[in-house]
Structure 1
Amino acid sequence: MVSSFGTIHIQFLLEGAVWTIILSACAFIGGGVMGLIIALMRISPVWTVRTFAAAYIQLVQGIPLLVLMFTGFFGLPAIGVPVSPLMAATISMTVWVGAYLGEFWRGSLEAVPKSQWEAAECLALSRAQRMFKVIIPQAVRNATPGTVGFMVQIIKNTSLASAVSFVDLTRAGQLINNSIFEPFITFVAVAVIYFLLCFPLSVLSRRLERRMARGMAKA
């Protein structure tokens, strides 16, 4: 006899949501580190470094995230590197997030007024000191609203990890539906949980954008 959707299924979905949050956090942290490196490479005075970073961004942005997932999950074991579903999903999303944040943060760095770059040079600081003490702190303010908004995309795209057997929120919904055959109520519950995860970040992003706009207007 097929049971109906109940408390035990909601609990299982919430456990999947926890793993969705964990994967999102890992992807954001790893992708953020990679994105910062890529952004700095994109504005490097060395042509080879800039070209390599640009090629990385174009390559990753030209490949669907799902294909990156399959490459990590099936490709790495094929060359003798065993990976778990979580590791494969984390590596794939880190590569993907790094490319998008790298290009976005590159724009934020270049948006810092030229006068600030020139003032930093006049202080006789090294390039690293100019970037981390003068330019990056100003770029962070410009990049924060968009970065928070992009976190929503990270959370939603973790659903693709279900294709490599990672039991996130989407995969939990699939497993429940396979056992009780109630797709409507099951995936409505999945959608509601995704909304509850993403909506606060969307609101925060809009508030940060309005605050930044007011600050620019006052300036």
Structure 2
Amino acid sequence: MSEFSTWDVFRNLLAAVPWTIYLSLIAFAGGAVVSLILLSLRLAFPRVAGRPVHLYVQVFQGTPLLMQLFLVYFGLALMGIQTTPLLAASLCLSVYSSAYLTETWYGCVLAVPKGQWEASSSLGLPHWQQMLLIILPQALRLSVPPTVGLMVQIVKNTSLASIVGFVELTRASQIIANATFEPFLAYGAVAFIYFVICFSISLCGRHLEKRIRI
């Protein structure tokens, strides 16, 4: 019989929750910064930057995240850069999320009705004012649901960081399962915690969407 109680399992898993959230926030923030830069280039210089940005998106959307994580983790070491599981996971997830955010936000900008583009052009505004004052505020409203959905995906994708030794929820559950010999309890508990985190994000997204529409 295992010496660990159900509470011991949950208590140790809850200790790993902040690391999962921390990695998720880094991945989303880093991805958002990169995607804003790429989106700005794509909109400002469509002929010059359009194809390179599109290629960037296709490469990172079209390859498995696990393979990207391996390439970053071992690639940095080959380049002589001292790496850690947190650094590799943060860099990889940031780049991965930036590819999806770039394409999502670009689609939201294009989804703004054509009449709004024509109306803003008729005012004689410079391109950057046209985007900043008229197009982007409308695109922001459209972007809330897919962005929240991507945030949920990022939280779940942090589980892959366990493969390089980063101790977040999934890695913690593996350690606990090996120590308690109760894998169903450990993995069932971590699945429940992931659900609570992701469901909370979805609820906050719905609330934000309603506030923006008012």
TM-score over 0.5 for the pair: yes
Q: Give the superposition deviation at 1:40.
A: 3.0
Q: String of CA shifts for 1:112-135, please: whole Å, max 9, x gaps.
A: 122222232333332222222221
Q: String of CA shifts for 1:11-48, please: whole Å, max 9, x gaps.
A: 22112111000111111111111222223333344412
Q: TM-score, length-normalised on structure 2?
A: 0.91
The answer to which of 92-101 and 109-118 deviates more is 109-118
Q: TM-score, length-normalised on structure 1?
A: 0.89
**Partner amino acid for 1:192?**
F
C-alpha distance in 1 between matches for 2:207 and 2:2: 46
**Match in the other structure for 1:171:** 171
C-alpha distance in 2 between matches for 1:61 and 1:71: 15
Checking the alignment, whether the CA contact within 8 Å between 1:38 and 1:103 is kept in structure 2 is no
**Match in the other structure for 2:160:** 160
Checking the alignment, whether the CA contact within 8 Å between 1:31 and 1:95 is kept in structure 2 is yes
The answer to which of 171-180 and 42-51 deviates more is 42-51
C-alpha distance in 2 between matches for 1:140 and 1:46: 20
**Partner amino acid for 2:73?**
F
- CA RMSD in angstroms comes to 2.1
C-alpha distance in 2 between matches for 1:45 and 1:118: 19
The answer to which of 66-75 and 188-197 deviates more is 66-75
**Match in the other structure for 2:43:** 43
Q: Give the superposition deviation at 1:204.
A: 4.1
SS of equivalent residue, structure 2 residue 3: coil
**Partner amino acid for 1:203?**
L
Aligned residues: 213
**Match in the other structure for 1:122:** 122
**Partner amino acid for 2:196?**
L
Checking the alignment, whether the CA contact within 8 Å between 1:40 and 1:106 is kept in structure 2 is no
**Match in the other structure for 2:146:** 146
C-alpha distance in 2 between matches for 1:52 and 1:183: 45
Alignment of 1:198-213 (within 5 A): 198-205=198-205, 211=210
**Partner amino acid for 2:124?**
A
C-alpha distance in 2 between matches for 1:82 and 1:48: 35
**Match in the other structure for 1:90:** 90
Q: Give the superposition deviation at 1:206.
A: 5.1
1:28 aligns with 2:28: yes
**Match in the other structure for 1:196:** 196
The answer to which of 76-85 and 33-42 deviates more is 33-42
The answer to which of 54-63 and 123-132 deviates more is 123-132
C-alpha distance in 2 between matches for 1:178 and 1:130: 58
C-alpha distance in 1 between matches for 2:127 and 2:84: 40
C-alpha distance in 1 between matches for 2:72 and 2:128: 34
Q: Identical aligned pairs, as a percentage? A: 46
C-alpha distance in 1 between matches for 2:64 and 2:26: 20
Q: Give the superposition deviation at 1:151.
A: 1.1
C-alpha distance in 1 between matches for 2:121 and 2:88: 43
